């Protein structure tokens, strides 16, 4: 099968398209023929070796952690009725070395991790959801313990995680303030955010003073950098900060009487099912997409690394599967 692999950490030139053996599903696994792969910042961070100490890995590494596609084969312990289901998944298996990825024609993974994709989503939209939406869910609910009526501030609101987090927080009954560049204010407000704040100059401090004079209950930080310390000052006493993008200043948090934690999102089929249900109901809407071909992976990584993606970038892996499934949503798609 065709795959984008690296044999060593480094720049874009380390990425090569290569033929690899098609994976064989284990007893409890399914084999997915991938239609689209979602591009996440973690992909170029893995490629550059920035996460080498965080995640054990095994070369050659096939990049990519998000996918949509069709189950084409099942292991001995998996119901054959799953063959033909169109699924989406955050494909990183906790505790196993980084190596198997979704920038490839096929991936084998535990059957439970492959959740039936909502029928109202195009396959490209489905590939854009799992990792960012699970991160938003775990940041707001699992770690953030968001309660209806609270005020939450989301930094990076226009990005893959932020655009899902705005919607998930609204669904939870929160008042949602978000930080984004002026160019993205119309977009984040269209998602339902109650207010958008620019981050340039003194706009953020001024905006927060006006919108949340006593501070916010929860900060979900999707940017890192100065927010890892400065963001703690946006909280009211007893407030919580959850960051997905760095190590927060816990000493300062203690001094200010707030809490701060970093999370690393993990695959969680029950949570992904809950997200799928909200997408199917139209409560959550998928983000705007920039679709590229798998062969354009270098450009996709450059754009992601530049740090101003609105919504998501996805890579089209299989023309045939994508076209068939988009068409209505087509031949062979099975949702139960």
Return residues touching ligand NAP (CB under 6 A). 40-42, 45, 131-132, 135, 155-156, 158-162, 179-181, 184, 199, 222-223, 244-245, 263-265, 304, 307-310
- Least distance in angstroms from the C-beta of 318 to ligand NAP: 23
- Least distance in angstroms from the C-beta of 207 to ligand NAP: 12
Q: Which residue is nearest to ligand NAP (CB)?
A: 159
Name which of 41 and 69 has its Cβ closer to ligand NAP: 41
Name which of 267 and 321 has its Cβ closer to ligand NAP: 267
Residue 33 host element (H or E): strand 29-39
- Least distance in angstroms from the C-beta of 243 to ligand NAP: 8
CA dist 8 and 63 (Å) reads: 12
Burial status of residue 53 (CB atoms within 10 A of its CB: 0-12, 13-18, 19 or more): exposed
- Least distance in angstroms from the C-beta of 223 to ligand NAP: 5
Closest to 194 measured CA to CA, from 179, 213, 215: 179
- In the block, tokens 């289901």 appear at 85
- Least distance in angstroms from the C-beta of 325 to ligand NAP: 24
- Least distance in angstroms from the C-beta of 331 to ligand NAP: 32
Backbone angles phi and psi of 294, in degrees to 5:
-55, -35
Name which of 14 and 181 has its Cβ closer to ligand NAP: 181
Name which of 147 and 264 has its Cβ closer to ligand NAP: 264
DSSP, collapsed to helix, strand or coil, labels residue 134 as helix
Name which of 120 and 266 has its Cβ closer to ligand NAP: 266
Q: What is the token pair recorded at 313?
A: 């970038």
Q: What is the DSSP letter of 270?
A: H
Name which of 51 and 326 has its Cβ closer to ligand NAP: 51
- Least distance in angstroms from the C-beta of 205 to ligand NAP: 13
Name which of 79 and 306 has its Cβ closer to ligand NAP: 306
DSSP string for 63-124: P--EEEEEEEEE-TTS-GGGTTBEEEEE---TTS-B---SSBSEEEEEGGG-EEPPTTS-HH
Q: What is the token pair recorded at 160?
A: 């893959």
List of residues 6+ apart from 242 with CB closer than 8 A: 139, 140, 143, 144, 218, 219, 220, 221, 260, 261, 262, 263
Q: What is the token pair recorded at 111?
A: 């059957």
- Least distance in angstroms from the C-beta of 68 to ligand NAP: 17
The CA–CA distances, whole Å, from 138 to 133, 194, 266 equal 9, 22, 9
Name which of 67 and 108 has its Cβ closer to ligand NAP: 67
- Least distance in angstroms from the C-beta of 4 to ligand NAP: 18
**329 preceded by a cis bond (ω within 30 of 0):** yes
Name which of 158 and 279 has its Cβ closer to ligand NAP: 158
DSSP, collapsed to helix, strand or coil, labels residue 259 as strand
- In the block, tokens 């505790």 appear at 95
CA dist 25 and 111 (Å) reads: 9
């Amino acid at each position: 099968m065709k795959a984008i692999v690296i044999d060593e950490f480094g720049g874009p030139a380390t990425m090569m398209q290569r033929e690899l053996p098609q994976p064989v599903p284990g007893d409890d696994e399914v084999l997915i023929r991938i239609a689209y792969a979602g591009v996440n910042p973690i992909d170029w961070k893995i490629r550059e070796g920035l996460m080498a100490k965080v995640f054990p890995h095994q070369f050659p590494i096939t990049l990519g952690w998000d996918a949509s596609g069709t189950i084409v084969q099942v292991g001995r312990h998996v119901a054959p009725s799953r063959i033909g289901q169109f699924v989406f998944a955050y494909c990183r298996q906790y505790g196993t070395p980084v190596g198997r990825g979704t920038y490839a024609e096929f991936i084998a993974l535990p059957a439970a991790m492959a959740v039936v994709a909502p029928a109202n989503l195009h396959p490209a939209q489905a590939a854009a959801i799992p990792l960012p939406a699970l991160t938003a869910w775990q940041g707001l609910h699992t770690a953030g313990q968001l309660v209806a009526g609270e005020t939450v501030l989301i930094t990076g609101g226009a990005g893959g995680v932020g655009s899902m987090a705005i919607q998930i927080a609204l669904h939870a009954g929160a008042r949602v303030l978000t930080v984004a560049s002026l160019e993205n204010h119309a977009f984040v407000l269209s998602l339902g955010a109650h207010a958008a704040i620019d981050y340039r100059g003194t706009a953020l401090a001024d905006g927060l003073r006006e919108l949340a004079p006593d501070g916010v209950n929860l900060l979900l930080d999707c940017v890192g950098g100065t927010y890892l310390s400065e963001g703690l000052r946006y909280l009211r006493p007893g407030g919580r900060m959850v960051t997905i993008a760095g190590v927060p200043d816990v000493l300062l948090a203690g001094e200010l009487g707030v809490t701060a934690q970093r999370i690393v999102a993990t695959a969680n089929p029950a949570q992904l099912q809950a997200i799928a249900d909200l997408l199917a109901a139209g409560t959550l809407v998928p983000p705007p997409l920039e679709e590229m071909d798998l062969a354009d992976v270098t450009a996709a990584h450059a754009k992601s690394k530049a740090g101003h993606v609105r919504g998501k970038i996805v890579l089209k892996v299989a023309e045939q599967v994508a076209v068939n499934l988009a068409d209505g949503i087509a031949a062979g798609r099975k949702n139960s």
